[in-house]
Amino acid sequence: MARRAHDNFLIPAEHIGMGVPKNPAEFDTPAWRGYDILTHTPPTKEWTDELHRRGIKCMPYLTLCYQYIDDDNAGWAAGETPDAVIIDQAGRPQLQENYRRHDGKWIYEICTNTRKARDLYLKRTEKLMACGCDGLFLDNAAPARMCFGPQFGKHEHIHAGDPNARAEGHMGFCYPKAARKYRMEVPVSDEEQTYSTAMLIQEIRNLVQSYHPQNRIMLNCGDGSGSPPIFYQHCDSMMDEMFIYATYLDYNFPAPTHLDYMDHTPLDWLNVLAWQEQFTDDVRMNCLSAFSKHDPACGKHSLFAFCAAKLWDALYCTTSDPKLDAWLRDIRLGAPLSKGPGSWGAVLYREYENGIALINPFGIAQQATIPWTNKPAELVVHGDTAKASHGEVEAGKSTITLKLGPDCAALILPGE
């Protein structure tokens, strides 16, 4: 099933990364070769022109959670309370939980339901788009937490009393097991705050596309499965940042290691993928290579992360380490041949035009017979497989039989 024609350049893309090298000449090295899209790029015309000359789309960074959005990036000093900050039920300004301190300054969480926040973000968007880029990467784009600013006279809310802000569906989260354990004690937004964030995202997207109709925005909420449906209506790509190594594990450690890598819950993964599928006709999912660099088996686990991402045809963001996962950018799988992942026993897989990705997320080896449609009999296998043999060809179709090791992945490509 080939992807349908689409003017969203994120849909057909195969490889995405972050940042740029120190010298443009490094794009010719294995560390940087093969990118279709780069986010977190410098918002300068010089870098934009360089990336476009190489056929790379560029999406500079904008964060939707704290105060570094003004022209001079000055922020606020400790003890200062900006007038667009989230106020808790005791009248206190709220610090952003992911960024407690930065260079000795407090980092507050911005209330997207305020006129000041809207004006600041749109002004910052105009400044970023002046470089001629192809869109923006909007980080920390989760719904704003409950805010009691009006009750304490700190500010007014734009959408107070707006009936659209209380419409059904603004809080339609799909929590996997690990996220449920973690998030039930974290204060989350109400419908009005969710709506205010979505409307700000919509305004930013409209402004981005006013520069060129094919410009796009990518949201990172940390975990796309926790994003309300209204967010998918106003973005072009949604990031499941920690899809493999944090959100869908049990939060045993602050950073994923080989010790908690084994604690998979495949049904959680598949439930989340099925839930997201209703939004992804026009939205491309993507995820980071979020394995721990301190993991002694991170090379093996990086392949697992890539193959797991390919179960739902997601863009996978590789690192610039050729020994780790940069080599994956030499691989072009093409379009998927099925609407979703398949399974053979405990092995999960998805076949593409130019190969197939598989994972065995269980602690024992598994043997599987998987499709290999209209492809050569010669195989190249990456991963921990005890064997991989081509089956008999019938009417242009064929199968592969292989044994996949415990907690392993395999990437099978046609041989030359």
What is the predicted pLDDT for the residue at 323?
83
Structure tokens at 385: 């497989």
CB 362 within 8 A of CB 374: no
Residue 76 has pLDDT above 90, yes or no: no
Q: Could you tell me where in the chain the CATH 2.60.40 domains are found?
A: 336-416
pLDDT digits (tens, 9 = 90+) for 186-220: 445 678 888 999 999 999 999 999 999 999 999 99
Residues 382-394: tens digit of each pLDDT: 887 666 676 665 6
Element holding 268 (H helix, E strand)? helix 266-276
Q: What is the C-alpha separation between 375 and 352, in angstroms, rounded?
A: 10
Q: 15-66+112-330 in CATH: which number?
A: 3.20.20.70
Concatenated DSSP letters of 73-94:
-----TT---TTB-B-TTSPBP
Which letter does DSSP use for residue 232 in this model?
A: H
pTM of the model: 0.87
pLDDT at 284: 92
What does the pLDDT read at residue 381?
86
Predicted local distance difference test score (pLDDT) of residue 308: 86
- Percentage above 90 pLDDT, the chain: 38
In CATH, 336-416 is 3.30.420 = no
CATH 3.20.20.70 domain span(s) along the chain: 15-66+112-330
pLDDT of 171: 61
